[in-house]
Structure 1
Amino acid sequence: MNKIPSDAIHWDSGDWIDWHRNALHPTTPPCAAPSEDPRARLHTLHMRMLQSARAYFELTGEHLPIYEGIAKIHASLELDLPSKINSEDDTANNVLVVTLPPNRPSDIVTIDLSEPFGSLIVVRITQSFTAECRIMARTALPDRRDGKYDIHWRDLPSYN
């Protein structure tokens, strides 16, 4: 009988072990669903970023600095926006995305009214690492063009 190698972790028939060691692995992982659809790929990225943030927090007790990226992707998916929002060269969207990360002490958002935007999107990432968003038109905010303005999450209109 053949000797089982010391690095073998599965105890089964010798045939199975030989097959396991000599088999060719697939070129793409079986769980990955490759897609050419950019929105499907963006959704996968969003979920992986949330899972990574949660796993890192559970492992270390610290937060990864990726919540703004998660918020932009979530707003893009939830509200069917282009994936490049809040960029310098993209003024057509006229959207301001603000993030409420899970490590924030309150649900109050401070908005700089001097910034040019037509819509405010607030994305809250909860303690359970799920994301939700709310949207408000600039016209619903005070008619000032300077200073800061505080809005509580509960005062933002629900999107749906």
Structure 2
Amino acid sequence: MIAGPPQSWEIPTDAVHWDSGDWIDWYRRQGTAEPGEIAPEVDPDARVRLAYRALLQTAKLYHEATGRHLPVYEALAELHGVVAHGLSLDRDRQDTTLRIACIAPYAEPRLLRIDFAQEFDRLLAVSIAPDFGIESRLIERHQLHGCIKGVARLKWSELPQPDTGTG
């Protein structure tokens, strides 16, 4: 029995096409990869970058379409840590050395809520702006002067700046 053409929503089984004398991967034809990027099937880190971009784009499009926010900002912050700072997604959820805190795009004022009673050595502070731009800072706990214990609200603008190595 010969199978008919794939439905428009199905990924072709060959998933590779010949175009202008070059092999073009299906996912590149769909616009989900940057030129020169390694295929997600080959590089697991590429899969994380692809998931990060897709989740960020989905959150932005959903907000533009509905005016509401998806509950994905903590996951975006974690994925941003992997993509921007080389953190591991495989880290144990009970890992006490790293704390991730996120400012959602709708948060006003732009404050991070940090519980200093919890043990952590480093803080990944992630700010997602109303236009869905993302900034982050990986900060050693000892750099957070004046915060010893209890819950603190820290202004993004007052967090230590990342060391650029140009000093």
TM-score greater than 0.5 by the shorter chain = yes
Question: 1:98 aligned to 2:101?
Answer: yes
TM-score by length of 1: 0.75
Is 1:31 matched with 2:27? yes
Greater Cα offset, 41-50 or 130-139 = 130-139
Q: Provide the secondary structure at the position in 1 that maps to 2:65.
A: helix
**Separation (CA, whole Å) in 2 of partners of 1:102 and 1:117:** 25
Could you say what secondary structure the match of 1:31 adopts?
A: helix
2:77 is the alignment partner of 1:71: yes
| AA partner of residue 98 (structure 1) | A
Listed as ranges, the gaps of 5+ residues in structure 1 are 1-21
Q: Sequence identity of aligned pairs in percent?
A: 30
Structure 1 residues 35 and 143 mapped into 2: Cα distance closer, same or farther (>3 Å)?
A: same
Structure 2 spans left out of the alignment, 5+ residues: 16-24, 29-38
How far did 1:86 drift?
6.9
* CA apart distance, 1:83: 1.2
Equivalent residue, structure 1, for 2:125 = 122
Pair member with larger Rg: 1
Partner secondary structure for residue 52 of structure 2? helix
What is the CA–CA distance in structure 1 between the aligned matches of 2:123 and 2:153, rounded to whole Å? 13
User: Is it true that 1:113 corresponds to 2:116 in the alignment?
Assistant: yes
Using the alignment, how far apart are the partners of 1:23 and 1:118 within structure 2? 56
* Matched residue count: 135
SS in 1 for 2:123: strand
Distance 2:90 2:109 in 1: 28
| Greater fraction of residues in strand | 2
Amino acid at match of 2:12: P
Change (3 A) 1:63 1:153: same
* 1:157 CA displacement: 2.5
Q: Whose relative contact order is higher, 1 or 2, with alpha carbons under 8 Å and at least 6 apart? A: 1
